[in-house]
Chain A
Amino acid sequence: MINIPKPLEQTKSIRPWWIYFFRNRAATVSVIAVLITLLSALIGPTLYQRLLPIDQRQVRDGIYQDFDAINGSPSVDHWLGTDYLGRDTLTRLFMALRVSLLVAFVVESLNIGLGCGLGLLAGYFGGWVDMLISRAADMLFAFPGLLLAILVSAVFGSTARELYGGIGRLLLVATALSLVSWPLMARLVRSETLSLKSRDFVMASRGLGATQFRIIFRHILPNVMWLIIVAATVDVASVIVNEATLSLLGLGIEEPAASLGLMIFRAAGKIESHPLQVFIPAVVITTLVIAFSFLGDGLRDALDPRSR
């Protein structure tokens, strides 16, 4: 038998992006942290409640107030203690994580949809489309950071709640926060699209008579995908903080729903007597923010064609 040597090309081929990614230790740890958070937000409450017999589960539903255990310390019933209304802190933490991640998901969906869509349009078509979109983005950029989100959620918060309840309020907060996010995404995608548009392979494709639809979706979009993923991941960190800030200022999520910002805000007055009630959500939010930052960095290093 003759051993046929493998063709040289195959060994030289570009390794998949995740090899680069998992070489980055911080990014790897961050992925694990984010996955654990996600998982505990999803199944944590149920699991934690099921540990008790069925007739006692109510004390861990995060809404039930145990009037005899207000500001309680950690115990067998309440692993992380109870809050100022006697509600289970661990369950509320899970609830808050759900809110944080749900808001982040909605904001990033809007961010990707709006920012990427408008950025592609502006970059590819130029002219008055570009003009219109860029000016709109400029306008939103002029609002420093959270100001517009604060304004919108303050002004329309109660209307949203009245019409659609707590979930309406949550969606409003997410929409308001996406107003802060999408202009940056649009700007990034636009400039990347501009540079791709004049590249040879796009020119060639156009020369061969490809439709604009095909050029955008087959040639440009796949090449800006990495940028979108990286920008959205990095943005998650600030969305989580922004949501907490809004709730802290009394303009975001409202009781009985839970939010990390709200948990910190409500417990801040008792930081001396019940430090755990501030400490726990504070550690969780900081961990999440750092994890998403590392994750974004890792993804950029792994995905950015220029960094390889």
Chain B
Amino acid sequence: MSRPVLRRALSLIFVLFSVTFLTFIVSYLAPGDPIRNMMGGRQDPVRYVFLRHLYGLDQPWYQQYLTYVSHLLTGNLGYSFKYPERPVWDLIATGVPVSLQLGSLALVISVLVGVPAGIFAAVWKNTWRDTTIMGFMLALYSIPSFVIIPIVWVIDLALYRAGLPSLPVAGWGTPQHVILPVLVLAAANAGFVARIMRNSMLEVMGQDFVRTARAKGAPEYLVLRHHVLRNALLPLLTVLGPATAFLITGAFVVENLFAIPGIGYLSIQAIGQRDYPVIQATTLLLATAVVVMNLITDFAYTLADPRVRFE
């Protein structure tokens, strides 16, 4: 491994450790006693002490953190506060594939929609076609998903009442369940991708080698295909990292409103229930996803564009 790559890997580990520390401290400083909450309306001092010890909450904070990290390194994420004696890993393990499916499908669809939209808008720069496409894409990007979702619901319910084919409004499990949430999640990201694509197309189209190609008399579609597209697709790689973060954030709303048992749903529920071990685990998981995607982005970019050095 070359030195820059090693340095990046080290900084990645550092970042993830800071994430664990930050989430730990936030959880530690949180008001409210998790054990008391866990015990509900029936409080018994003996059980209280017992449970407090079981969850290690009777130790000083630094010791709690050290225990947490050492457990983490052995792959032990601790036990849930909300569901007594259920390992956190069990809880989040089922959510990971769900979120992965939702996220990757949304990413694929948003690229499928966003890239052509951006290309055509750039080719038709400053015509009514450009304005229409980009206007639509901007609307997709700007309308918050919590506005789109109720509208989708009303339409779907109306379709069902009219006896027309409709899709499930919530839940997860069959391919039909996947369609609505994926489309909603993909919508905003498609707008984002189209914007990047258009900008990068325009940038490349203004460069000397494209002008040269045109001057040589090459047909426009060949210029676009051979010179512009190839180069304009590059910056799209840089979007991969932010797009992942974007999809994860979008998933908080989409998973919650569509009741999809993914990581976003689990995080919000855990935050609502103050289930700190679960919060810490999901946060770390999502942060890892973002950091790794960013790393892959940088790496891919270096491979694709020899002008860029991996730093």
Contacts and interface: CB of A to CB of B under 8 A. Distances in A.
Interface of A: 135, 138-139, 141-148, 150-152, 154-156, 158-159, 237, 241, 244-245, 248-251, 261, 264-265, 268, 271-272, 275, 278, 282, 285-286, 289-290, 293
Contact of B15 (A139, A245, A289): A139
Given A261-B146, A271-B153, A286-B144, A142 B290 contact: yes
Interface of B: 11, 14-16, 18-19, 22-23, 26-27, 29-31, 138-139, 141-144, 146-147, 150, 153-154, 157, 244-246, 248-249, 252-253, 256, 267-268, 271-272, 274, 279, 283, 286-287, 289-291, 294
Nearest to B157: A272
- Which 3 residue pairs of A and B lie closest in terms of their CB atoms, listed nearest first? A145-B249, A144-B248, A139-B18
A39 B84 CA distance: 53
A249 B287 contact: no
Contacts of B246: 145
Contacts of A241: 144
Interface of B is mostly: helix
B154 A138 contact: no
Contacts, number: 118
B244 A264 contact: no
Given A145-B248, A151-B23, A286 B283 contact: no
Nearest to A282: B147
A143 B29 contact: no
Contacts of A151: 23, 26, 271, 279, 283
A146 B268 CA distance: 11
Interface centre among A147, A265, A278 (most CB of B within 10 A): A147
A141 B289 CA distance: 12
Contacts of B249: 144-147
A135 B272 CA distance: 30
A272 B142 CA distance: 24
A150 B147 contact: no
A152 B138 CA distance: 30
Contacts of A138: 11, 15
